């Protein structure tokens, strides 16, 4: 069945913006992965999991909360946490108040890994993302990112708390 509604084609400016945005989505993750692999032997996702735990009270989070922080599904997160656990960086345990919930906690070795890795990662983020921008553009980037994320998931609690 053919639709009689004309597609809302992108204007020339919108197309340029879209292609630049796609380029960032395609090139930035591998660039961050390469820096983290080279300097710390971690993928960007593994670092994100460790960083998420490092920022939590007691360096511990529910796996479901960590999945939300890392923008991941539980199956992928469980696989990555299992790898980090084998390396002695994370420990999983049942929540003492509700045994149905699994907690992930950063070990001392995991904390040390974050402390060693964070400066190089922050420098890569600064070099690749923030150094090319003015302060005003950095603020605009934050606002643009939040608006796009709200369009993707208007009910996301993390976005509401960032405003």
Tens-place pLDDT, residues 17-54 = 999 999 999 999 999 999 999 999 999 999 999 999 99
Rounded mean pLDDT of 12-19? 97
| Per-residue confidence band for 157, with pLDDT thresholds at 50, 70 and 90 | low
Asked if residues 66 and 52 have their Cβ atoms less than 8 Å apart, the reply is yes
Percent of the chain at pLDDT > 70 equals 94
Over residues 89-105, the mean pLDDT reads 94
What are the pLDDT digits (tens) for 99-120?
899 999 999 999 999 999 999 9
Q: What is the DSSP letter of 7?
A: P
Mean pLDDT of the residues in the chain: 93
Look at the chain and count its residues.
Answer: 163
Give first-to-last CA distance, the chain, whole Å. Answer: 43
Please tell me the predicted confidence (pLDDT) of residue 151: 95
> For residue 160, is pLDDT > 60?
no
What pLDDT band is residue 81 in, cutting at 50, 70 and 90?
Answer: very high
Helix, strand, coil tally for the chain in percent (to 5): 65, 10, 20
**CB-CB contact of 153 with 159 (8 Å):** yes
Strand order in the sheet with 98-106: 60-62, 98-106, 90-95
Contact by Cβ (8 Å): 36, 50:
no
Domain boundaries, the chain: 26-116
Residue 136 has pLDDT above 60, yes or no: yes
Q: How far apart are CA 136 and CA 139, in angstroms?
A: 5
Rg (C-alpha) for the chain, rounded Å, is 19
Q: What is the DSSP pairing of strand 60-62 with strand 90-95?
A: unpaired
Given this model, what pLDDT does residue 155 score? 80
Query: Hey, what CATH topology would domain 26-116 get?
Result: Arc Repressor Mutant, subunit A (1.10.10)
The 3-state DSSP class for residue 103 equals strand
Going by pLDDT thresholds of 50, 70 and 90, the confidence category of residue 159 is low
Give pLDDT, residue 162. 52
């Amino acid at each position: 069945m053919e639709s009689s509604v004309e597609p809302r084609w992108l204007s020339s400016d919108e197309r340029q913006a879209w292609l630049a945005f796609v380029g960032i989505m395609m090139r930035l993750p591998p660039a961050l992965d390469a820096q983290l692999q080279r300097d710390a032997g971690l993928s960007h996702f593994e670092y994100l999991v460790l960083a998420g735990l490092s920022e939590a009270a007691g360096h511990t989070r529910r796996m479901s909360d960590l999945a939300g922080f890392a923008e991941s599904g539980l199956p992928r997160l469980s696989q990555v946490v299992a790898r980090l656990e084998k390396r002695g960086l994370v420990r999983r345990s049942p929540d003492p108040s509700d045994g149905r919930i699994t907690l992930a906690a950063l070990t001392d070795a995991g904390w040390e890994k974050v402390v060693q890795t964070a400066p190089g990662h922050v420098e890569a983020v600064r070099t690749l993302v923030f150094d090319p921008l003015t302060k005003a553009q950095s603020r605009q980037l934050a606002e643009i990112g939040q608006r796009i994320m709200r369009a993707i998931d208007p009910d996301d609690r993390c976005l509401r708390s960032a405003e």
